[in-house]
Structure 1
Amino acid sequence: MGAVHRLYRRARFFVKRVVNFDRDRVLQFARQSARLSTAPLGWVVLDMLWCSVRYETTFENYSEWDFRILRPRERKTYMTDPKSFHLSRRLNDDSRRAVFDDKLQFAERFGDELGREWIDLRQTDAAAFGAFVSRHPRIIAKNPGGVGGNGISLLDSADIDDPAATRDELITAGQVLVEEVLVQHPDMASLYPRSVNSLRVVSYLDPDGEVHVLAGVLKIGNGGVIDNFSNGGMYTMLDERGRALHAASDEEGRPFAEHPVTGVTITGFQVPLYDEVLALVDRLARTVPAMPYIGWDVAITASGPVVIEGNHNTGVFQSKPSVSGIRSGLLPRYRAAMRF
């Protein structure tokens, strides 16, 4: 029955990909992949479709992890977004997802680990908002249901002449969660000072109560005020001690051994206070045990690491072979921890 279920799941995924086929988007990823080999573009598209069935990859996965140049035995080692999604659905309790989907609920549940003051504008009058602004030189306003860095505004408190009007504007925009802006650790700021350069640490709490770190990722801003991959940022993978394994890459697949703005070397960069990061993730993973598979976004301040948010349908991060030289993925690590 297990083999039949997997075959059905893959066939259903393939049909869904065909039905939702975005020609321009597919060709974008196919062209990125075709640059890695001499294969014709049409052949690359066919290979992308084959991999979507055989390895449950998205077209983005195919391009991001250079499937074009990988052998079948290497392709089999990669965790993919569809596989991660299935695991999230199977392992995480649907009834508790709102704690992570709603940033306000998350702030209430994980308040002790946030390391920053926050307010709900719907529960805060203009005078209290004005007092909040006066306490913090910069604030960040968020839509509690926003994803991927969307629905976020960064405001300088000195530019807020009329707190009541600003409050009304933010509420109208749905940006009702307002937080003080974290001041990151000087070492993290040296990479790129305009954004908080965060970590994504993917964890799994197994039935025996052990917390497994499945992936450690360093995300770095590049040209914007947030470090998200989809907003111009880049990422590199970390080893068990928090050291960058290789150059970072962005959504276009471009490698950056040094940051293009600051010139700071990325390859080999040591994340500060990484032992404290692991201790924080261990505490976070045990807070809502009904949600054992989570990707945590962590910022590091001078006084220690703090959590930004948790993602119950965490994206997948792995080394890009053409940048790192690493031609294997993290699926074996996931399998060993989750016992599937």
Structure 2
Amino acid sequence: MGALHRLYRRARFFVRRVINFDSERVLQFARQSARLTKAPLWWVVIDMIWCSVRYETTFENYSEWDFRILKPRERKTYMTDPKSFHLSRRLNDNAQRAIFDDKLEFAQRFGAELGREWIDLRVTDAAAFAAFTARHPRIIAKNPGGVGGNGISLRESASITDPAAVREELIAAGQVLVEEVLVQHPDMARLYPDSVNSLRMVSYLDPDGEVHVLAGVLKIGNGGVIDNFSNGGMYTMLDERGRAMHPASDEEGHPFAEHPVTGVAITGFTVPLYDEVLDLVDRLARRVPAFPYIGWDIAITPEGPVVIEGNHNSGVFQSKPSVSGIRQGLLPRYRAAMRF
């Protein structure tokens, strides 16, 4: 029965890929992968389609984790976005998704761990908004339902000469959650000062009450005010002590042993206060038992780590073989923790 279900799931996934086939997007990822070998483009496309069926990869996954250069036994070790999505659907209570989908609800639920002041413009008048901007030199406005760094804008409070007009403008744009901008730890700012460089910590709370850290990721900005991979940022994987194991890479697959703007070494960079990060993740993972599988975005402030948001359908992060030399994914770690 299990084998039939897996076969059905993969077939359904493949059909969806065919229906939503974007030839230009596929060719973009195929060209990135073709650069790794001398294989012709048409062969890479065929291999991408095969891997989408055999290993449940997206075309993005195929390119991001260099499937073109991996052997079949190595490909089998990779967690993929579709596999992660299936686990999320199976383990997390879909009826309570709003806790994580709505940033305002998340702020209300996890307020003690946010480490920053926030307001909801829908229930905050112009005078209160003006007082908020007077208290904080920089503010960040968010769409509560935005994903991947979309629906976010950063403002210098000194530039807000008409708070009432700015409030109306933000409400019209759907950016009703306004927060003070976090001041990051000096060591994190040294990497890249123009964005809050955050961590993605993927956790699983098992039925026995033990919290497993499935992945630790250092996300770094590069030219923008957010560090998201899809918005020009880069990432590298962390070891158990919070040390960057290898150079970072961006969405185009470019390797960065040093940050291109600051020149700070990324390989070997150690995240400050990492023991406190692990303690925070342990506390967070126990707050909503109905969601045992979560990806937490964590910022490191001078006072300690704080949570930015939680992702009930966490994206997957793994080492890029052509950058790291690591040719094994995290699927075995997921299996050991989740016992599947």
Q: With structure 1 as the length reference, what TM-score do the two structures score?
A: 1.00
Letter in 1 for 2:286: R
What's 2:175 paired with? 175
Specify the code of the residue in structure 1 equivalent to 2:155: L
Q: Quote the offset at 1:19 in angstroms.
A: 1.1
Report SS of the residue matched to 1:113.
helix
- CA deviation map 1:12-47 (0-9, x unaligned): 111111111100000000000000011110000000
AA matched with 1:40: P
C-alpha deviation, 1:318, in angstroms: 0.1
Structure 2 residue 76 is the aligned partner of structure 1 residue 76? yes
Report how far residue 307 of structure 1 moved. Answer: 0.1
Amino acid at match of 1:14: F
- Cα distance in 1 for partners of 2:19, 2:97 equals 28
Q: Which residue of 2 aligns with 1:64?
A: 64
Q: Please state how far the C-alpha of 1:204 moved relative to its aligned partner.
A: 0.3
For residues 40 and 127 of structure 1, what CA distance do their matches in structure 2 show? Answer: 63
Q: What amino acid maps onto 1:241 in structure 2? A: R
Root-mean-square deviation (CA), in Å?
0.3
Structure 1: any 5+ residue segments left out of the alignment?
Answer: none
Give TM-score, length-normalised by structure 2.
1.00
Matches within 5 A, 1:286-305: 286-305=286-305
Aligned ranges for residues 261-340 of structure 1 at < 5 Å?
Answer: 261-340=261-340
Match of 1:162 in 2: 162
Say which SS state the counterpart of residue 225 (structure 1) adopts.
Answer: coil
SS in 1 for 2:62: helix
Report how many residues are paired.
340
For residues 276 and 19 of structure 1, the distance between their equivalents in structure 2, rounded to whole angstroms, comes to: 46
Superposition deviation, residue 95 in structure 1 = 1.2
Distance 1:285 1:32 in 2: 37
**Alignment partner of 1:188 is 2:188:** yes
The whole-number CA distance in structure 2 between the counterparts of 1:336 and 1:149 is: 32
Classify the secondary structure of the residue corresponding to 1:148.
coil
- Structure 2 residue ranges without an equivalent (≥5): none
For residues 17 and 142 of structure 2, the distance between their equivalents in structure 1, rounded to whole angstroms, comes to: 32
Give the match's secondary structure for 1:286.
Answer: helix
Report the counterpart of residue 7 of structure 1 in structure 2: 7
Report the 3-state secondary structure (helix = DSSP H, G, I; strand = E; otherwise coil) of the residue aligned with 1:209.
coil
Give deviations 1:216-248, integer Å, cap 9, x for gaps.
000000000000000100000000000000000
In the alignment, the residues of structure 2 paired with residue 173 and residue 321 of structure 1 have an alpha-carbon distance, to the nearest angstrom, of: 41
1:67 partner letter: F
For 2:75 and 2:83, locate their aligned partners in 1 and report how far apart those are by CA, in whole Å: 13
1:52 equivalenced with 2:52 (yes/no): yes
After the TM superposition, list the runs of 4 or more consecutive aligned residues in structure 1 that deviate by more than 3 angstroms.
none
For residues 166-225 of structure 1, what are the alpha-carbon distances to aligned partners after superposition, in whole Å with 9 as ceiling and x for unaligned?
101000110000000000000000000000000000000000000000000000000000
**Map 1:104-119 → 2, pairs under 5 A:** 104-119=104-119
Shift of the alpha carbon at 1:96? 1.1
Percent sequence identity is 87
Residue equivalent to 1:96 = 96
